[in-house]
Amino acid sequence: MLSARPADARAAIVWAGLGRYMAGMHATTALPATDAPTADTPTLPILTPPHPSLRARTRKVGPDDMDKVRGMVPQMLATMYAAPGIGLAAPQVGVPLRLAVVDLQPDDAPAPVVLVNPEITRVSEDWAVREEGCLSLPGQYADVSRPARVHVRYQDLNGKVQELEAEGLLAACLQHEIDHLDGVLFVDHLSALKRNMILRRLAKELKQKAAG
Ligand code: ZN
């Protein structure tokens, strides 16, 4: 899942051009009311390294998986909103399926997007650098360079194929979540030196937290 410092997220949302993508996404991927999380929806534990689920490849969601997926999505959304974060991929909660949820504006009008079997079909030639975090790497942030714009194809909860063009924060978020489905974390886009530094610092902080 992608987490962003709230001030950054808010600043990024006004990034030119993002609004129309959000509006378009909302119109085509609004969840049925029964799938929206409620105050009673349980949240799921978010896995941290070195849990193998974060490094495992995931399986395509098939027609037989859709009932399970529909049952899981409200819990994934509740988990993402509670964290709080703006994206969460199924492997982060121990489920090896190609499934992720994203919502760039959880504080305002919720506009969740559920991505079943998402794939990046086109990327721009120009790249952009953006600070990223991840709910699986709590408290860790680094500048990550990725294609500035992407075209993504995915299925919604009805199995219908959807496509979207994204730029700005949304483009980074989608690439970050789809990376999770291939066992890739944002630190994998950094130098080995920087990656190891962050993972070591995280391990130390998690150990200290566990020790109370
Ligand atoms: Zn993440």
Distance (Å, whole) CA 63 – CA 48:
30
Q: How confident is the model at residue 31 (pLDDT cuts 50, 70, 90)?
A: low
Q: How confident is the model at residue 9 (pLDDT cuts 50, 70, 90)?
A: very low
**CA 96 / ligand 1 centre spacing (Å):** 15
Per-chain mean pLDDT for the chain = 87
Q: What is the structure's pLDDT at 29?
A: 47
pLDDT at position 70 over 70: yes
Q: Across residues 102-119, what is the average pLDDT?
A: 88
Q: How confident is the model at residue 38 (pLDDT cuts 50, 70, 90)?
A: confident
pLDDT at position 32 over 80: no
Q: Across residues 134-163, what is the average pLDDT?
A: 97
Q: Is 177 an active-site residue?
A: yes
List the catalytic residue out of 119, 131, 165, 177.
177
Q: How confident is the model at residue 64 (pLDDT cuts 50, 70, 90)?
A: very high
- The 3-class secondary structure across the chain, one letter per residue, is CEECCHHHHHHHHCCCCHHHHHHHHHHHHCCCHHHCCCCCCCCCCCCCCCCHHHCCCCECCCHHHHHHHHHHHHHHHHHHHHCCCCEEEHHHHCCCECEEEECCCCCCCCCCEEEEEEEEEEECCCEEEEEEEECCCCCCCEEEEEECEEEEEEECCCCCEEEEEEEHHHHHHHHHHHHHCCCCCHHHHCCHHHHHHHHHHHHHHHHHHHCC
92 is in which domain, residue-wise?
Answer: 2-211
CATH of the domain at 43: 3.90.45.10
Q: How many domains does the chain have?
A: 1
pLDDT at position 12 over 80: no
**CA 140 / ligand 1 centre spacing (Å):** 11
> Poorest-confidence range of 13-22, 35-44, 164-173, 203-212?
13-22
Q: What is the structure's pLDDT at 109?
A: 80
> Which protein residues have a CB closer than 5 Å to ligand 1 (ion)?
1, 134
Query: Considering the entire predicted model, what is its pTM?
Result: 0.85
Give Cα 169 distance to the centre of its chain. 11
Q: Across residues 100-127, what is the average pLDDT?
A: 92
